[in-house]
Amino acid sequence: MHESLLPELERFAQHLAVERRLAPRTLALYRDALGALQRAAADDGVVLEQAHTHHVRSWVTGLRARGLGARSIAIALAAWRGLYRWWGQQGRVQHNPADGIRAPKAAKPLPKALAVDQAMALADLKGGGEEPPWLQARDQAIVELLYGCGLRVGELVALDAQASPQAAAWVDTADRTAHVIGKGSKRRSVPIGEAAAVAIARWIVLRTEALHGRDEAALFVSQRGTRLSPSQVRARLALRARRAGLPTHVHPHMLRHSFASHLLQSSGDLRAVQELLGHANIGTTQVYTQLDHQHLSKVYDAAHPRARRK
Positions of the chain with pLDDT lower than 70, given as ranges: 1-3, 106-111, 128-129, 280, 283-310
pLDDT at 65: 87
Q: Where is 187: in which H helix or E strand?
A: strand 187-191
47-60 core/surface letters (b: 16 or more CB in 10 A; e: else): ebeebeeebbeebb
Does domain 7-89 fall under CATH 1.10.150? My reply is yes
Catalytic annotation present for 15: no
Exposed, middle or buried: residue 266 (CB in 10 Å: 0-12, 13-18, 19+)? exposed
pLDDT at 273: 74
pLDDT at 3: 65
pLDDT at 66: 87
Catalytic annotation present for 95: no
CA distances from residue 20 to 15, 23, 86, 97, 203 in whole angstroms, order as listed: 6, 9, 12, 22, 59
pLDDT at 60: 93
Catalytic annotation present for 300: no
Q: What are phi and psi of 112, to 5 degrees?
A: -90, 130
Provide the 8-state DSSP code for 172.
E
Which tens digits make up the pLDDT trace of 111-167?
A: 688 888 999 999 999 876 678 999 999 999 999 999 988 899 999 999 999 999 988
Cα separation, 175 vs 192, whole angstroms: 9
pLDDT at 305: 54
Catalytic residue among 11, 52, 54, 183: 183
pLDDT at 296: 44
- In terms of Cα–Cα distance, which of 309, 180, 198, 204 is closest to 256? 180
Provide the 8-state DSSP code for 10.
H
pLDDT at 108: 64
Catalytic residue among 152, 179, 236, 262: 152
Catalytic annotation present for 187: no
Q: Which residues in the chain are classed under CATH 1.10.443.10?
A: 116-301
Q: Which CATH class is domain 116-301?
A: mainly alpha
Q: Which residues in the chain are classed under CATH 1.10.150?
A: 7-89
Catalytic annotation present for 152: yes
Catalytic annotation present for 256: yes
How many other C-beta atoms are found inside a 10 Å radius of the C-beta of residue 89? Answer: 9
pLDDT at 299: 45
